[in-house]
Amino acid sequence: MTRLQRLKMGAAVCIVAAVLATSGCGWGRTVAEKEAQENNATAASDTSSCVDTSGNTIKIGFVNSLSGTMAISEQTVSDSLHMAVDEINAKGGVLGKQLKVVQQDGKSEPAVFAEKAKTLIEKECVAAVFGGWTSSSRKAMLPVFEADNALLFYPLQYEGMEASPNIFYSGAAPNQQIVPALDYLKEQGYKKLFLVGSDYVFPQTANRVVKAYAEGNGMEVVGEEYTPMGSTDFTTIVNKLKFSGADAVVNTLNGDSNVAFFKEYKASGLKAATTPVISMSIAEEEVSAIGVDNVKDQLTAWNYYQTLNNAQNKTFVKNFKARYGANRPTSDPMESAYTSVYLWKGMVEKAKSFDVDKVKAAADGVTFDAPEGKVKVDGENHHIYKTSYIGKIGSDKLIHTVWKSDGPIKPDPYLKTYSWAKSLSASVESN
């Protein structure tokens, strides 16, 4: 059994729980169906594919929320995916074939993501799928991709504690975002943390990491609050924050809840100078939606900003704005999505095949000179070596780097290299 297979088994209980909690049996491949398939010796690796490679085109699928509470964030990811495909097609495609996109709307609902993924794989016969945003959407899709032995390229930073042979995670693992954010707060002298997040998988698991880090690094969590996705009433939460004694806030809210939170934060008299908020899911496009006056000087932890000064990023920003408008900013999730298409291209060309198993086998060491800097695929855990950046939101509505890691960080989704995180990785392995 490979290490990746062991990691997959370690996360299985969490995945199944998320799947069962998300819906009944009306979407995608059910857990029972998947188990029956495995028991009948038709495991995922033996699942026949309907991908048609006989013509001069090859289908790939996009699944993004183009409606619902997450559309504020996911539309730009869809836009960047389309730009990557058009660039690749203009330069000859992949293995001489033009890419043909099949787009699906996940509608900000995990069950819909799973349904649309199944459609893309089994009816549209795509060679790979790109998309998802929330961890709930990813966990809902995961058993579908494993049952059908298909490929998902997931672009978002996430909570870790997961690895799948059928998912490539081009966003940050927790040691490439959460841990650097906490390291930065610690270096700046902040010791009392208030945690606020949306009520789903990513914030809850991310905050387990935060609490473990705090306990092992002389910090204290003085408050922890969650609110439903799309919530707009933060009066009570901000009041608790104001009187908690916190000197910094770790924010894992997602979607348009950030708008309401920061407006209430400012109205309460809280200020970035005295109680800064470091956010894990606020990028440049959210700044405009929230209102720059509400978030100026607040902190973010990401792996890309529009303001990065390198040749690849300057070209990327120029091309994106020429295509979608001068006022459209670039951001981490859409850059990660853009990069994921090029990484898949590199894997396919290295494998000289669109076959899923051959692509997976060829993945290790594939690199791309991305706008965020050079990235590399870790073939063992299917995550990406990435540089980490802490940024501060400026009055120009852009995010400016105040700290960066010393080069790309090796992905450690289970935080096995951190002594303070032993209980986290142990709990996953015990399951």
Structural domain of residue 256, as residue ranges? 175-307+388-412
403 Cβ contact list (under 8 Å, min separation 6): 180, 184, 389, 390
- The Cα–Cα gap between 428 and 403 comes to 31
How do 373-378 and 383-385 pair as beta strands?
antiparallel
Retrieve residue 248's tokens.
């910094």
22 within domain boundaries: no
Judging by beta carbons within 10 Å of its beta carbon (0-12, 13-18, 19+), is residue 203 exposed, middle or buried? Answer: buried
36 within domain boundaries: no
End-to-end CA gap in the chain: 17
Indicate the SS3 state at residue 20.
helix
CA distances from 31 to 60, 159, 407 (A): 25, 23, 40
Q: What is the pLDDT of residue 337?
A: 98
* H helix and E strand count, the chain: 16, 15
Which amino acid makes up residue 86? D
289 within domain boundaries: yes
Number of domain units in the chain: 1
Spatial CA neighbour of 287 closest among 70, 73, 66: 73
Which pairs count as long-range contacts for 144-147, CB under 8 Å and 24+ apart, including other chains?
Answer: 144/28, 144/29, 144/114, 144/117, 144/118, 145/117, 145/121, 146/34, 146/44, 147/29, 147/33, 147/34, 147/37, 147/44, 147/47
Contact 101, 87 (CB under 8 A): no
290 within domain boundaries: yes
Q: What is the pLDDT of residue 431?
A: 52
CA distances from 225 to 18, 64, 89, 250 (A): 21, 28, 46, 11
What residue ranges of the chain have pLDDT lower than 70?
A: 1-47, 425-431
The pTM for the full model equals 0.86
Model pLDDT for residues 27-81, shown as the tens digit of each residue: 233 334 444 444 443 444 445 789 999 999 999 999 999 999 889 889 999 999 9
- The Cα–Cα gap between 48 and 127 comes to 12
Q: What is the pLDDT of residue 6?
A: 42
Return the H-helix or E-strand segment holding 224. strand 220-227
292 within domain boundaries: yes
Indicate the SS3 state at residue 417.
coil
In order, the DSSP letters of 313-375 are HHHHHHHHHHHH-TTPPP-HHHHHHHHHHHHHHHHHHHHTS--HHHHHHH-TT-EEEETTEEE
Contact 73, 286 (CB under 8 A): yes
Q: What is the pLDDT of residue 73?
A: 84
Alpha helix (H) residue ranges in 200-310: 201-216, 235-242, 257-267, 284-290, 292-295
430 within domain boundaries: no
Spatial CA neighbour of 280 closest among 352, 198, 340, 384: 198
Which pairs count as long-range contacts for 40-49, CB under 8 Å and 24+ apart, including other chains?
Answer: 44/146, 44/147, 44/148, 44/149, 44/165, 44/166, 45/149, 45/357, 46/149, 47/147, 47/148, 47/149, 49/125, 49/149, 49/150, 49/355, 49/356
Contact 134, 160 (CB under 8 A): no
How do 399-404 and 389-393 pair as beta strands?
antiparallel
Tell the residue number behind the tokens 């945690």, with chain if given.
195
Model pLDDT for residues 138-150, shown as the tens digit of each residue: 999 999 999 999 9
**CA 427 from centre of chain:** 23
Spatial CA neighbour of 333 closest among 197, 115, 94, 137: 137
141 within domain boundaries: no
Spatial CA neighbour of 302 closest among 226, 164, 400: 400
Q: What is the pLDDT of residue 89?
A: 98
Here the CATH number for the domain that contains residue 233 is 3.40.50.2300
237 within domain boundaries: yes
